[in-house]
Structure 1
């Protein structure tokens, strides 16, 4: 066998459809988060947009939890819209007031979720950070401000570990049941050069190792190792040779589910997958007896799992097809 597979493992806790989840971090949080959402899990995904370095991730968690305003010195105007150096460029508005109002709405939602969430998934993308030369302010996104205005540096393990335990203590003060799952994004930051990307990923991996060793409610999921060691052939990457392709994501999703999902949850996901295929069916003649029978059977199957999955919307849409 020409592979070095990552061995299956059982996580310290299990995830089911009754859990509340929050995923924050790099684009891998969106990838795994989207799979969870598409499979009817209750999850919020990157409410502040994609974030790469751990300190910026912890900063937005604190901002959300405390429902703080954006510091004015983080706000910048680009192409007639206002953005914040603390957030991704997807968070923008036509005025400072509108931006603050948008962020306050996000903060309220994040604060509520952090107080009830069962699992917080944190995906770290890079240990390289940029700081404003004039203020030493850490930025999550430079927003095309000239690079000469920033200093670039590598985070050290101690400062990240200390920052995590600070935000962890704040979250646990309002939600002591929460579980933390860390992953390191397998997406390589080639702009840093491949040697410096390796330095970055190694730093992040060590951080995750120490955090998992130091506390019982922190777990590490090896998405990075799966891509770099198990699926290291380029056929598992997109054309850019950087991002995992759909086949790789399918593989990681299955591995993740085997580690974190209960048996009942895995069974529900398989049932839902078959129902999704039925829901995507495009009838040649919607009024035919055969299609009407198909719709009725699909409704019955959805109603059978409605106690475990939120499928009322799908049931209602199918009922509208009945004549």
Structure 2
């Protein structure tokens, strides 16, 4: 295991774990230089420090809790860390814009008051980063939208902590309105139309009518690829051909 990485990087040997980490680092390094936008979501300002090293860890890997100290970061600590990161990223990609959000999911184990203190710390840190890097740092208020606009509990899942599917769709709609161009919205509408067609379950899969229906889906895909050749519809096309030739 690596205390700085997700469990998906873990392996049976240290060498394999390190290889997994380095492979992803190389991929991230190459991708980062081509990005227009980087989206980062803050969840909590509480961190775990490894007692043995005194360092903040990203993953406790279910090790005993007494191996760690848990504490609330100061807003200045977050600002200092991300100032260094943003300066480094901007040096490699001067056109990069970073969009921050704060997760509306409540961290109930902190207690409701401590959760609010945590979210407030994150909001203060992001606001400071916006002041320091006005050309690079932006903010989308997903946290505020859920808490202030969607105050009814029907917008929460059964655990009363996570946004419900209805709230997620509402947030996606607000995000789309804010950031997507008219062309992007049109592409999304056409893709959604294809997705709905593919989800259709016919009573008679072998019928001539359904075969014509599948042919129309293929034509829609081909027309969309003709206009936007960077779109990848390989799986959808294969699914159509598989249903056309059972």
Could you say whether these structures have the same fold, taking a TM-score greater than 0.5 normalized by the shorter chain as the test? yes
Give me the whole-angstrom Cα distance separating, in 1, the residues matched to 2:126 and 2:115: 17
1:114-164 deviation per Cα after TM superposition (whole angstroms, max 9, x unaligned) = 111111100001111111223211111222222222222221222221211
- Find 1:218's aligned residue among 99, 124, 137: 137
> Which residue does the alignment assign to 2:126?
208
Which structure is higher in helix share? 2
Is contact 1:303-1:315 (8 Å) kept?
no
What does residue range 33-48 of structure 1 map to in structure 2 within 5 Å?
Answer: none
Bigger drift between 243-252 and 285-294 goes to 285-294
> How far 1:305 moved relative to its partner?
1.1
Give me the whole-angstrom Cα distance separating, in 2, the residues matched to 1:233 and 1:322: 46
Is contact 1:127-1:155 (8 Å) kept?
yes
- Find 1:275's aligned residue among 194, 212, 223: 194
The answer to whether 1:188 aligns with 2:106 is yes
> Which residue does the alignment assign to 2:244?
322
Bigger drift between 242-251 and 309-318 goes to 309-318
SS of aligned partner of 2:6 = coil
1:248-270 deviation per Cα after TM superposition (whole angstroms, max 9, x unaligned) = 10110011000011111011111
Give me the whole-angstrom Cα distance separating, in 2, the residues matched to 1:182 and 1:283: 43
Give me the whole-angstrom Cα distance separating, in 2, the residues matched to 1:232 and 1:96: 48
TM-score (norm 1): 0.71
Give me the whole-angstrom Cα distance separating, in 2, the residues matched to 1:91 and 1:316: 31
> Which residue does the alignment assign to 1:237?
156
Is contact 1:182-1:220 (8 Å) kept?
yes
Is contact 1:129-1:139 (8 Å) kept?
yes
Is contact 1:131-1:151 (8 Å) kept?
yes
CA RMSD of aligned residues (A): 1.6
SS of aligned partner of 1:120 = strand
1:260-308 deviation per Cα after TM superposition (whole angstroms, max 9, x unaligned) = 1111101111111111010112233333221121111111111111132
SS of aligned partner of 2:162 = coil
1:24-83 deviation per Cα after TM superposition (whole angstroms, max 9, x unaligned) = xxxxxxxxxxxxxxxxxxxxxxxxxxxxxxxxxxxxxxxxxxxxxxxxxxxxxxxxxxx2
Q: How many residues align?
A: 241
> Which residue does the alignment assign to 2:89?
171
Is contact 1:130-1:138 (8 Å) kept?
yes
Q: Which runs of 5+ in 2 are unaligned?
A: none
Is contact 1:299-1:315 (8 Å) kept?
yes
1:179-204 deviation per Cα after TM superposition (whole angstroms, max 9, x unaligned) = 10000011111111111111100000
Give me the whole-angstrom Cα distance separating, in 2, the residues matched to 1:238 and 1:93: 34
Larger radius of gyration: 2
Q: Which runs of 5+ in 1 are unaligned?
A: 1-82
SS of aligned partner of 1:121 = strand
> Which residue does the alignment assign to 2:185?
266
SS of aligned partner of 1:321 = helix
> Which residue does the alignment assign to 1:133?
51
TM-score (norm 2): 0.92
The answer to whether 1:297 aligns with 2:216 is yes
The answer to whether 1:158 aligns with 2:76 is yes
Q: Structure 1 residues 316, 144: CA separation in 2 closer, same or farther (over 3 Å shift)?
A: closer
What does residue range 52-201 of structure 1 map to in structure 2 within 5 Å?
Answer: 83-201=1-119
If asked which structure has higher relative contact order (CA below 8 Å, sep 6+), I would say 1
